[in-house]
Amino acid sequence: MALRFFNTLSQQVEDFSTQDGKTVRMYTCGPTVYHYVHIGNLRTFTFQDLLRRWLRYRGYALNHVMNITDVEDKIIRSAMQQGKELREYTSVYETAFLEDADKLRLERPERLVRATEHIPEMLDAIQKLEAGGYTYLSEGSVYYRIAQFPKYGKLARLDFGGMKSGARVDVDEYDKDDARDFVLWKQRKDGEPAWEGPYGAGRPGWHIECSVMAMKYLGETLDIHAGGIDLTFPHHENEIAQSEAITHKQFSRYWLHAEHLMVEGQKMSKSLGNFYTLRDLLEQGWQPDTIRFLLTSSHYRTKLNFTFDGLRAQSTSLERLRNFKLRLETDKLAAGANEALNARAEAAWSAFEAAMDDDLNTAGALGAVFEYVRDANTALDAGEFVEGNRAGALEFLAKFDSIFDVLRPVEREGGLSDAEIQALVDERVAAKKAKNFGRSDEIRNLLAEKGVILEDTREGMRWKRK
Ligand SMILES: [Zn+2]
């Protein structure tokens, strides 16, 4: 079966293809840098990371653009309250976002683009919309007249029967089910940061920035546009209205949306006290690889219930995978090859591929991994797993980890490199042999402090990171 995705636009699972048969032109809505991103946002970004990796595994080249929204209502309000210049305020959170992304091992898109660096292009697009009769001016701001675009609502599939023509909204975000003409260029109010342009001093609305930056770098028609489900309406609907009014071409062929993240079964909100950023969880002592593993463990189109029990369980599952890898790397095995076990590894990988091809069903793919690991561990215990099975099993894990990227332990600050650990382990073995137990204990304690666990096995001293 071919690679296929659920397309929000058609509400169907569709076979995937690109326009040129090779490169995926992909746009994803990036963070609004007015605060640290929360784990709900990070779920969406982690889904996009897996999407990138799976598309590449399937032989596609990637041209992925992500925007940084660095001008917007909340940003301006917060920056002005703190008496800061816009860039001074946003750069802190932009840097923080990139640090969080690195901690979660999210690949960088081919291009990260800032809204404030594309104001002339946005003004140009607004003028094109004006020339096409899609805009009107009111109290110094420019609005998009959605009644002029009959296909409005095709993505969100909302009923706009009760829509009031001419009712307009000039905030960047508004409530669901409330279709109104939205602002393209906002007239400057007292003291706000602003850009000069044909409509007077002001700034762009949030929606126009994504249309403009997507088409500037990816062309008039994208292959994939992705984002969180809450962006479907109005943001993505408005992106379509703007872009297609300018080009008269389909804006994006596939629309992929990640579902919400719940915390302990409830909607995450500051008032419920269950609102978490990555930093909050790291401060509580959770490891970013465990968090990544939890965020990728459910299918992206199901609501993810983020719980601390779930994190603990995920940490145990990860430990099981790493222990299996360690056994594969260090166990002494009998000679020969067990063909049935090699076939088992291949079948497990086929099941993994089939699940991922099926709209990125990560839960199904992980199921295939854990079943295989259980069987292989049983075979190792029984002595049926032999030398000829080692390479296939290691390759299986390497392929898995090129997508999920969780097996590598987190580098700790002030931690030891693998070579440094090995040198200490060797020294400890030598100290024990020489009956220098003082030194041997000293090394064990030092390693424990650095999060390294020693295991005495039949095959000698083995170590792993906690
Ligand atoms: Zn966007």
Distance 97 CA to ligand 1 centre (A): 16
- So what's the pLDDT on residue 161? 61
Q: Which of 116-125, 213-222, 324-333, 421-430 has the lowest mean pLDDT?
A: 421-430
Distance 67 CA to ligand 1 centre (A): 7
Mean pLDDT of 447-460: 82
CB 129 within 8 A of CB 245: yes
- As a whole number, the mean pLDDT across the chain is 93
Distance 165 CA to ligand 1 centre (A): 25
**Chain center to CA of 291:** 12
Q: How far, in Å, CA of 26 to CA of 238, rounded?
A: 18
- So what's the pLDDT on residue 418? 81
Q: How far, in Å, CA of 5 to CA of 24, rounded?
A: 14
Of the pLDDT bands very low, low, confident and very high (cuts 50, 70, 90), residue 157 is: confident
Distance 70 CA to ligand 1 centre (A): 12
Q: How far, in Å, CA of 200 to CA of 123, rounded?
A: 11
Distance 339 CA to ligand 1 centre (A): 51
- Dump pLDDT digits (tens) for 229-248: 999 999 999 999 999 999 99
- So what's the pLDDT on residue 422? 86
Dihedral sign from CA coordinates of 100, 102, 106, 108: positive
DSSP for residue 414: T
Distance 209 CA to ligand 1 centre (A): 7
Distance 302 CA to ligand 1 centre (A): 22
Distance 41 CA to ligand 1 centre (A): 13
- So what's the pLDDT on residue 301? 98
Residue 351 has pLDDT above 70, yes or no: yes
Residue 459 has pLDDT above 80, yes or no: no
Amino acid at position 135, single letter: T
Residue 399's nearest CA partner among 327, 436, 351 is 351
**Chain center to CA of 251:** 22
- The pair phi, psi for residue 261, each rounded to 5°, is -105, 130
- So what's the pLDDT on residue 160? 66
Q: How far, in Å, CA of 302 to CA of 296, rounded?
A: 11
Of the pLDDT bands very low, low, confident and very high (cuts 50, 70, 90), residue 159 is: low
Q: How far, in Å, CA of 329 to CA of 323, rounded?
A: 10
Distance 240 CA to ligand 1 centre (A): 11
- So what's the pLDDT on residue 175? 55
Of the pLDDT bands very low, low, confident and very high (cuts 50, 70, 90), residue 30 is: very high
Distance 148 CA to ligand 1 centre (A): 22
CB 415 within 8 A of CB 450: yes
How big is the chain by its Cα radius of gyration, in Å? 26
The token pair at 411 is 């580098």
The token pair at 42 is 């990070």
Q: How far, in Å, CA of 371 to CA of 342, rounded?
A: 14
Distance 30 CA to ligand 1 centre (A): 7
Distance 159 CA to ligand 1 centre (A): 22
Distance 25 CA to ligand 1 centre (A): 15
Query: Is residue 111 helix, strand or coil?
Result: strand
Residue 174 has pLDDT above 80, yes or no: no
Q: What angle do CA 372, 375, 378 make, to 5 degrees?
A: 150
How far is it between the farthest Cα atoms of the chain? 89
What does the DSSP assignment read for 54-73?
HHHHTT-EEEEEEEEB-SSH
Residue 255 has pLDDT above 80, yes or no: yes
Of the pLDDT bands very low, low, confident and very high (cuts 50, 70, 90), residue 169 is: confident
Amino acid at position 164, single letter: K
Residue 400 has pLDDT above 70, yes or no: yes
More confident residue, 66 or 181: 66
- So what's the pLDDT on residue 165? 57
Residues whose CB is less than 8 angstroms from the CB of residue 3 and which lie 6 or more positions away in sequence, other chains included = 15, 16, 54, 55, 58, 357
Distance 145 CA to ligand 1 centre (A): 19
Distance 228 CA to ligand 1 centre (A): 10
The token pair at 38 is 């929360």
Residue 177 has pLDDT above 60, yes or no: no
DSSP for residue 411: P
Distance 383 CA to ligand 1 centre (A): 55
Q: How far, in Å, CA of 266 to CA of 455, rounded?
A: 42
Q: Which residues of 154-166 are buried (b: 16+ CB within 10 A; e: fewer)?
A: ebbebeeeebeee
Terminus-to-terminus CA distance in the chain, angstroms?
Answer: 40
Distance 382 CA to ligand 1 centre (A): 54
- Dump pLDDT digits (tens) for 305-347: 999 999 999 999 999 999 999 999 999 999 999 999 999 999 9
The token pair at 385 is 């797993």
In sequence order, the β-bridge partners of residue 114 are 68
The token pair at 164 is 């009031």
152: number of Cβ within 10 Å: 23
**Chain center to CA of 157:** 26
Q: How far, in Å, CA of 199 to CA of 180, rounded?
A: 21
Distance 250 CA to ligand 1 centre (A): 16
Query: Is residue 230 helix, strand or coil?
Result: helix
Q: Where are the beta strands (DSSP E) in 93-173?
A: 111-114, 135-138, 141-144, 168-169
What is the pTM for the complete model shown? 0.90
Distance 174 CA to ligand 1 centre (A): 14
Distance 66 CA to ligand 1 centre (A): 9
Distance 51 CA to ligand 1 centre (A): 18
The token pair at 433 is 């042999």
Residue 91 has pLDDT above 90, yes or no: yes
Distance 358 CA to ligand 1 centre (A): 26
CB 72 within 8 A of CB 310: no
- So what's the pLDDT on residue 457? 79
Q: How far, in Å, CA of 92 to CA of 326, rounded?
A: 40
Q: How far, in Å, CA of 466 to CA of 449, rounded?
A: 10
The token pair at 110 is 């081919």
**Chain center to CA of 397:** 21
In sequence order, the β-bridge partners of residue 137 are 142
Distance 247 CA to ligand 1 centre (A): 18
- Dump pLDDT digits (tens) for 185-205: 999 998 899 999 999 999 999
Query: Is residue 203 helix, strand or coil?
Result: strand
- So what's the pLDDT on residue 163? 59
Q: How far, in Å, CA of 438 to CA of 203, rounded?
A: 69
Distance 345 CA to ligand 1 centre (A): 41
